[in-house]
């Protein structure tokens, strides 16, 4: 018996967004197209549309976050939803209440969506398996596993800057081993059919099975960046590292840091991306991060539209053109 995709309802529509893995190309494109209809909302005198009026979105962030939490909150408010942020440090879970008990109490308050960030891989899936049928769950990052909305906003930014995915050579550089963002990006880029997908990192920061995901592995930065159309830098996730995986941050920057010199081997019109937070002079120089090829701040802006799209779609209220203007 074929296992049902937890992310889809009985009609095959998106009910939760937990991972990019398993989504079809058209489903990803539909999310990007829906985000396109929201991109101008932030420029309106009144930055609100009524698609989620009467809905309640709960942000459950068990890990610290700035960009992701803020953009989810802004996205929900621009859709006219009520937003509740749970302070995990002072919630009843600290006093011994279980996660599922907390969810049951929130369900009793007639909430409609949980946006979940958690340090344990699979936490969002666990919550999605136990929520009431009317509640949707969006994964805002779980352990090393997945960060689907970050990957989607990155895909949106790439499409915005480059158009079609098929001709592109994309290089993902940095701490692949610990990065949930990298995993989601790899699944999205392979599903969208880029010409070549590369990962570039020290041997200690590359997962053993990554080549099975359809990527080419490079341990030399210049070779990995040669003729690339898109360069995605990742931060060193020192909080998840066990043992001495690198000689030093200085040595890492010398070997794998993106500078104007190393970027010069990519295509002249290559774009530079970074999901944040940026560690300047560790994975990227300030000259590149703030330079003309950087689209890092555009990623942040696009994150609001993409998260608006995801929220509207999982709650079954994707926009029509008149409402989204």
pLDDT, position 184 = 97
pLDDT, position 2 = 44
Tens digits of residue pLDDT in 129-146: 999 999 999 999 999 899
Domains in the chain with CATH codes: 25-143+301-324 (3.40.50.1370), 148-296 (3.40.50.1370)
12 band by pLDDT with thresholds 50, 70 and 90: confident
| Closest by Cα among 9, 108, 112, 27 to 309 | 27
154 band by pLDDT with thresholds 50, 70 and 90: very high
Tokens of 83: 């937003």
Burial of 89 per CB tally in 10 Å (0-12, 13-18, 19+):
exposed
Does residue 140 contact residue 163 with C-beta atoms inside 8 Å?
no
Per DSSP, helices labelled H in the chain are 25-38, 67-78, 99-108, 123-130, 148-162, 180-192, 221-225, 249-256, 260-263, 286-289, 296-314, 321-324
Q: Is the predicted pLDDT of residue 45 greater than 90, yes or no?
A: no
Tens digits of residue pLDDT in 269-309: 999 999 988 999 999 999 999 999 999 999 999 999 999 99
pLDDT, position 246 = 67
Hey, which residues are catalytic here? 67-68, 95, 117, 147
pLDDT, position 89 = 67
Tokens of 69: 């939490």
| pTM (predicted TM-score) | 0.91
Does residue 86 contact residue 104 with C-beta atoms inside 8 Å?
no
Distances (CA, A) of 101 to 118, 196, 288: 17, 46, 47
Quick one: average pLDDT of 48-63? 94
CA distance 173 to 279: 14
For the ranges 23-37, 107-121, 186-200, 307-321, the lowest mean pLDDT is seen at 307-321
CA distance 129 to 2: 17
CA distance 123 to 93: 15
3-state secondary structure of 82: strand
- pLDDT above 90 coverage of the chain, percent: 71
């Amino acid at each position: 018996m074929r296992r049902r995709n937890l992310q889809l309802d009985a009609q095959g529509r998106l009910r939760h967004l937990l991972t990019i893995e398993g989504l079809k190309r058209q489903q990803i494109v539909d999310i990007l197209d829906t985000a396109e209809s929201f991109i101008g909302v932030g420029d309106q005198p009144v930055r609100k549309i009524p698609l989620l009026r009467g809905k309640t979105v709960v942000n459950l962030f068990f890990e610290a976050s700035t960009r992701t939490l803020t953009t989810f909150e802004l996205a929900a408010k621009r859709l006219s939803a009520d937003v509740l942020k749970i302070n995990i440090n002072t919630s009843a879970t600290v006093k011994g209440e279980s996660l599922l008990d907390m969810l049951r109490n929130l369900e009793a308050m007639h909430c409609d969506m949980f946006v979940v960030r958690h340090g344990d891989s699979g936490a969002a899936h666990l919550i999605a398996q136990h929520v009431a049928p009317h509640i949707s769950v969006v994964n805002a990052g779980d352990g090393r596993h997945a960060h689907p909305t970050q990957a989607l906003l990155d895909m949106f930014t790439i499409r915005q800057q480059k158009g079609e995915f098929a001709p592109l050579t994309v290089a993902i550089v940095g701490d692949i081993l610990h990065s949930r963002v990298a995993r989601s990006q790899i699944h999205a880029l392979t599903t969208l059919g880029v010409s070549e997908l590369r990962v570039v990192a020290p041997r200690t920061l590359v997962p053993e099975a990554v080549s099975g995901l359809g990527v080419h592995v490079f341990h030399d930065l210049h070779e990995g960046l040669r003729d690339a159309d898109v360069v995605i830098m990742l931060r060193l996730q020192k909080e998840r590292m066990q043992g001495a995986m690198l000689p030093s941050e200085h040595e890492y920057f010398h070997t794998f840091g993106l500078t104007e010199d190393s970027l010069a081997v990519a295509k002249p019109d290559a774009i530079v991306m970074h999901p944040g937070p940026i560690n300047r002079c560790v994975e990227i120089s300030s000259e590149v991060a703030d330079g003309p090829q950087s689209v890092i701040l555009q990623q942040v802006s696009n994150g609001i539209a993409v998260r608006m799209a995801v929220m509207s779609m999982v709650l079954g209220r994707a926009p029509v053109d008149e409402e989204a203007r």
